Chains A and B, each alone.
Chain A
Amino acid sequence: MKKSTRVLSVILAAVMLVTAFAFTSCADKNYAANNTTIKIGVSGPLTGDYASYGMAVSNCAKLAIEEINAAGGLNGIMFELIDTNDEADSAKVSATYSDMYQKGMQISLGTVTTGAGIEFKALAEEDNVFYLTPSATGDAIPNGTNGFQMCFTDSNQGTASAEYFNRNFVGKKIGILYQADNDYSVGITNNFKKSIDESFKAGMVETSFTGKPTSYDSQVESLKDCDVVFLPIYTSEAAVFMRAATSKMKGDAIFFGCDGLDGIDTAVEGFDINTIKQEVSYLSHFNSKATEGPAAELIAKYNEKFDESKFPINQFGASAYDCVYAIYEALKVAVADGKTITATMSPSEFCDILSEVFKKDDFSVRGVTGECIGNEKSTISWNDDGTVSKNAIKYVVKEATA
C-alpha cells in the first residue's frame, strides 16, 4: 500500500467516525426545546390508494386537538398536530419520522398502516418516542413500553369476537368456517375457541377448507342449520362461500367476520353483496353508519368541518380521535400525580411519563370507538403488552333481506 493511500484511508475513516457521531448526537438533541405547544406527530398515507385512511386519521386528530385546545388545553398548554405523508410505504417512514422529529414532535400516533408501523417502531424504540397507533393492527406493533395500540391486534380479534358472541348471541347455534392453511384464520379461530362460553360449545359446528376449494358443498352442508357463522377468512373466499350458502341457510342467519371481511361489498370484482340474503357483518370498533350515540356525534362534527364526499370518516379516523384524547387524559393523570409538564420537554421525557400512565392497571379513558351503550362512551384500557382492551362492535355491511 502506498503511503498516500494509507493517509487517505485514515482520513476517510476519521470522516466516517465523525459522521457516525454526528448522527447519534441527533437523537440526543432536544428539537422540542423551542416548542410553544405540545406537538403530536403522525405518519400516514395522505395520498395514493390508502389516502382515505390517512386523511381520516389526520382530520380526526386535528378535530380532537381543536376541541382540546378550545377547552383550554392542558392547563393552558396547547397541542398541535404534525402530519406527514408516507403513502403507506415503509421505505418512506425513516424520512417522515426524521421530518417530524426535527420539527419538534414530542408524542406520536405512530403510523396508520402496519407495514410502515414496523419501521416506525424500530426508530421510535431507539429514540424512546411514545406512540399510540390508531390503526396499525399488526401483532408486532405494540410493545408495552413505548408502543401502544388503539385498534385490535390481528390475533386479538378472535378473543374480541368471542366476547362479542358471549354478550350478544346467547342461545344461538354458532358455526365456524376457517381456512386451515392460513395463519391469520387459524390464529383467530384458536383464540375464538379459547374465549367462547361453554354454553355455545355443545352445538358449535366447526369446519374448514384449504386453499381455494373447488366446492364448498360439504362446508355448507355442515353449517346450514347455524344461526351465526363466524368467518375469520378473507373477502374472496367469503364471497364464494356465502354465495354457495345463502340459499341453504336460514334467512335470519348472520355471517360474522373479522377485519378480513372489510371491503366485502366492494373488493371482489363481480360480486354483488345483495345476492346474499342473510346479514353480513364484521367485527369492528367503530360504526361509521351510526345514527345515534357518541359515534354519530363525531360523524356530525366531522362532516361539518371536512368534506365527507372526498374523505369520509371511517374506523381509522375515529380511532385517531380517541388516540388524541387518550394521550390528553394520560397527561392529565400525570399532572394529577404531581408531574410537571411543559411544552419544551423532550420526546423521551414525554415517553417515560406517558408509558408509566398507560401501564397503570386503573388507567382507562372513554372513547367513541368500542361499544358505546346509548349515549355513554365506551371504556378503553390497555394490557401490559400495549394492546387495547375494549368491547368490539358488530359493523353491519348488509342487513338481511326479507
Chain B
Amino acid sequence: METFFSTLINGLSLGGIYAMIALGYTMVYGIAKMLNFAHGDIIMVGGYTIFLFLFVNPIVAIVMAVIFCVIFGILIEKLAYKPLRGSSPLAVLITAIGVSYLLQSFAQIIFGSATKFVEIATFENKLQLGPLVIDIPTVITLICSAAVMVALSVFVKYSKTGRAMIAVSEDKGAAQLMGINVNTIIMITFAIGSALAALAGVFTLLKSPAITPTFGAMPGIKAFTAAVIGGIGSIPGAMVGGLMLGIIETFSNSVPALSPYTDAVEFSILIVVLLVKPTGLLGKKRREKV
C-alpha cells in the first residue's frame, strides 16, 4: 500500500512535468494551429542556462532560464514560423523539426555531447506523511505544477489577454476583425509556453540532474503524446493527459517485467485513445466545413 501511494505521488509529480510541457504544445496548437516540435528543445535551452548561471545562485539560474527560454521561444516564432504563416501545415511542421535539430546541434557545438551533471539544489531532508516518505523535489514539483496549472487556467479564463487567446483559437479572422492583434497573441502564447518549458526543465533537473543536448527530446515527445491523449488544443486536456502519462509511466516502471517496455506501453495508450476517441479525452469535436 505504501509502495502504491509513493508510486502514485512520484507519478503525479512526473505527470506534472509532462503536463507543463504539454501545455506549451497544446496552447501553441490551439492558437497558431501548428505543432511546435522544437518545444522540447526549449527545455534543453533552459537546462543549459541553469548550468551556466548556477555558479551565481540557484534562484538567479532559474530566473535566467525562464528569461532565456522566453527570448528563444519568441525569436523562434518570429524568425522561423511567422514567415510561414498561411503556408501549408507540412512546411511549418518540417520547419519545426528543423529548428529542433538546429537547437540540438548548436548545444552540441557549444557544450559538447558529454553529460553534464547539474545539481540545482540538494535536499537531504524528506517529508514524512505517516508511513509515506516523500522526496522534497517531488513535493516541490507537485506543488509548483499544480500552482502553475491553476494560475494558467485563471489567466486564460479571466484576463483580457487570456480571453483574446481563446478568441484567436476559436476563429482567427473574426478575432482580428474584433480588434485583437493576432501576432501579439501568438507571441504571448509562445512566451508562456517557453516559460513553462523552462520550469519543466528545472523540475526535470531536480529529479535527474544530468543534461545533454538531447535532454528535452524524450520529455518533449512524451508531453506531445500527453497533449494528444488529452485532446490537442485543450488546456485541461493537456493537464489530464500529462498527469495520466506520468502515472502510467511510473507504475509501468515499477513492474519489473514491464519496465523495459514502458515507452511502448505509453505510446500504445496513445493509439488506443486515438482509436476510441480520435479527438482525445477532452478534445472538442470540430466539424469541418467543406
A-to-B contact residues, CB < 8 Å: 180-181, 205-219, 221-222, 236-237, 239-240, 243-244, 247-248, 268-271, 275
Given known contacts A215-B13, A236-B114, what 18 new A-B pairs fall within 8 Å (CB)? A180-B260, A210-B263, A212-B210, A212-B214, A213-B208, A215-B14, A217-B14, A218-B250, A218-B259, A219-B253, A222-B254, A222-B256, A239-B117, A239-B210, A240-B208, A268-B116, A268-B117, A270-B116
Q: Are A218 and B254 in contact (CB under 8 A)?
A: yes
* Shortest Cβ gap from B275 to chain A (Å): 25
Q: Are B116 and A209 in contact (CB under 8 A)?
A: no
Q: Which residues of B contact A271 (CB under 8 A)?
A: 117
Q: Are A209 and B126 in contact (CB under 8 A)?
A: no
Query: For residues 109 through 139 of chain B, which have their beta carbon under 8 Å from a beta carbon of chain A?
Result: 114-119, 122, 124, 126, 133, 135, 138
* Shortest Cβ gap from A13 to chain B (Å): 49
Q: In the complex, what distance in Å separates the CA atom of A64 from the CA atom of B6?
A: 57
Chain B, interface size: which category? 35 or more
Tell me which of B114, B250, B251, B260 has the highest count of chain A C-beta atoms within 10 A of its own C-beta.
B260
Q: Which residues of A contact B30 (CB under 8 A)?
A: none
Tell me which of B7, B207, B214 has the highest count of chain A C-beta atoms within 10 A of its own C-beta.
B207
Residue of B nearest to A267 (CB): B114
* Shortest Cβ gap from A243 to chain B (Å): 6
B105 touches A (CB below 8 Å)? no
Cβ contacts A to B, 11 pairs, < 8 Å:
A180-B260, A205-B256, A212-B212, A214-B14, A214-B17, A214-B222, A215-B10, A218-B259, A221-B3, A268-B115, A270-B51
Q: In the complex, what distance in Å separates the CA atom of A243 from the CA atom of B205?
A: 12
SS of A interface (majority): mixed
Q: Which residues of B contact A180 (CB under 8 A)?
A: 259-261
The 4 closest A-B pairs by CB, nearest first: A180-B260, A236-B115, A218-B253, A270-B117
Q: In the complex, what distance in Å separates the CA atom of A240 from the CA atom of B212?
A: 13
Q: In the complex, what distance in Å separates the CA atom of A210 from the CA atom of B118?
A: 20
Q: Which residues of A contact B59 (CB under 8 A)?
A: none
Q: Are B260 and A210 in contact (CB under 8 A)?
A: yes
Residue of B nearest to A234 (CB): B115
Q: Are A243 and B256 in contact (CB under 8 A)?
A: no
Q: In the complex, what distance in Å separates the CA atom of A180 from the CA atom of B256?
A: 11
Q: Are A275 and B138 in contact (CB under 8 A)?
A: no
Q: Which residues of B contact A237 (CB under 8 A)?
A: 210
Q: Are A214 and B117 in contact (CB under 8 A)?
A: no
Q: Which residues of A contact B13 (CB under 8 A)?
A: 215, 217
Q: Which residues of A contact B118 (CB under 8 A)?
A: 270
B209 touches A (CB below 8 Å)? yes
Q: Are B209 and A240 in contact (CB under 8 A)?
A: yes
Q: In the complex, what distance in Å separates the CA atom of A167 from the CA atom of B253?
A: 31
- Which of A217, A239, A240, A268 has a CB less than 8 Å from the CB of B10? A217
Tell me which of B17, B115, B116 has the highest count of chain A C-beta atoms within 10 A of its own C-beta.
B115
Known contacts: A221-B10, A270-B119, A275-B122. The answer to whether A244 contacts B253 by CB under 8 A is no
- Which of B116, B126, B219, B261 has a CB less than 8 Å from the CB of A214? B219
